[in-house]
Amino acid sequence: MIEVKGLTKRYGPNTAVDGLRFDVTPGAVTGFLGPNGSGKSTTMRMIMGLDRPDAGHALIAGRPYAGLRRPLCEVGALLEARTFHPGRSARAHLAALAAAADIPAARVDEVLATVGLSDVAGRRAGTYSLGMAQRLGIAAALLGDPGVLLFDEPVNGLDPEGVRWIRDLMRSLAAEGRTVLLSSHLISEMALTADHLVVIGRGRLLADTSVRELTGRGRSLEEAFFALTESASAYQGTAHPTARDENASHIEPGRNPR
Ligand SMILES: Nc1ncnc2c1ncn2[C@@H]1O[C@H](COP(=O)(O)OP(=O)(O)OP(=O)(O)O)[C@@H](O)[C@H]1O
């Protein structure tokens, strides 16, 4: 269980996370959605004790991160890819983490197999592609067999087979009774993976509901998401052609050319 209780984080005049309050329950995949810059990563970092909140707090299995006795065995997180020494092999990286946390060395080969990196585990991790680096980050998160897992954009850089693998992994971790919080911008993928959704915009809670309920609000989950976050998107692009587009002068202002 993750409990987020009134979390607030300010960076200068900008309030990145604003009185956020929600629970993430075990046995389900909870999707964490929001437009760019809405505060998802900042919230996850605060849950993991990597950022200090200006107000509120977050609890993992009833304790703040700093109060966990064996953190790696209670919570695992993939927050950024490439949080390893590039000169170390994947196996050496995981072995060092395991040794520091008093986790049996045999667990290293188990998690390497889970993420599909066994054959390349001796290679310097600095030579890994983004997708391989994501897999290594997931292996590190799983190392202590924790009951609570957070993944920030885990499908980044993964090929279609990798995306499907993540979906199956998330669902099987939840089916084992774990608490899984997953952020992704791929809404169609979220519709297939998550049971529950927490949607935020400009640091504030917009929805805390089931995928089914939110999908039922529009023609699709994507439509319902856009309706919910319409006024909360800080960075909106346009569909208009650039000045270099030779057809630009033939298009009426305000008209989508396609
Ligand atoms: N270290 C920092 N210093 C200053 N501002 C920051 C810092 N980290 C985040 N922010 C700001 O806080 C806000 C929330 O950022 P955050 O990365 O949490 O959003 P996000 O929802 O994860 O975005 P994305 O979907 O683009 O990954 C943004 O306005 C961002 O610029």
Cα of 15 from ligand 1 centre, angstroms? 10
Task: Tell me, yes or no, whether 82 lies in a domain.
Answer: no
Pocket test for ligand 1, best of 14, 17, 42, 235 (most atoms within 8 A of CB): 42
Give the amino acid at 98. Answer: A
Bridge partner list, 15: 10
Q: Are 3 and 75 in contact (CB under 8 A)?
A: no
- In this structure, the residue with its CA closest to atom 30 of ligand 1 is 37
Identify the CATH number of the domain in which residue 28 sits: 3.40.50.300
Is 111 inside a domain boundary? no
Any long-range contacts for 130-134 (C-beta under 8 Å, 24+ apart)?
Answer: 130/81, 130/156, 130/157, 131/157, 131/158, 131/159, 131/162, 133/81, 133/82, 133/84, 133/157, 134/78, 134/81, 134/158, 134/162
Domain count for the chain, please give it.
1
* Ligand 1 atom nearest to 35, measured from its CA: 25
Find, among 187, 182, 257, the residue nearest to 226 by Cα: 187
What pTM was computed for the model? 0.89
The strand ranges marked E within 136-255 are 148-152, 179-183, 196-201, 204-210
Do the Cβ atoms of 230 and 64 come closer than 8 Å? no
| Residue 171 and residue 27 in contact, taking contact as beta carbons nearer than 8 Å | no
Residue 155 within any structural domain of the chain: yes
Mean pLDDT by runs of 10 across the 258 residues of the chain is 98 96 98 95 97 97 96 95 88 96 96 96 94 94 97 90 93 98 92 96 95 89 90 66 46 39
Is 85 part of a structural domain of the chain? no
| Residue 206 located in a structural domain | yes
pLDDT at 235: 63
pLDDT at residue 239, rounded to an integer: 64
Q: Domain range for residue 157?
A: 2-61+147-234
Atom number of ligand 1 nearest to Cα 17? 14
CA dist 47 to 32, 44, 58, Å? 13, 5, 5
Residue 32 lies in a domain: yes
**Is 53 domain-assigned?**
yes
Residue 145: name the closest of 103, 90, 186 by CA: 103
Q: Is 171 helix (H, G, I), strand (E, B) or coil?
A: helix
How much is the ipTM here? 0.97
Whether residue 29 is contained in a domain is answered as yes
Beta bridge partners of 63: 60
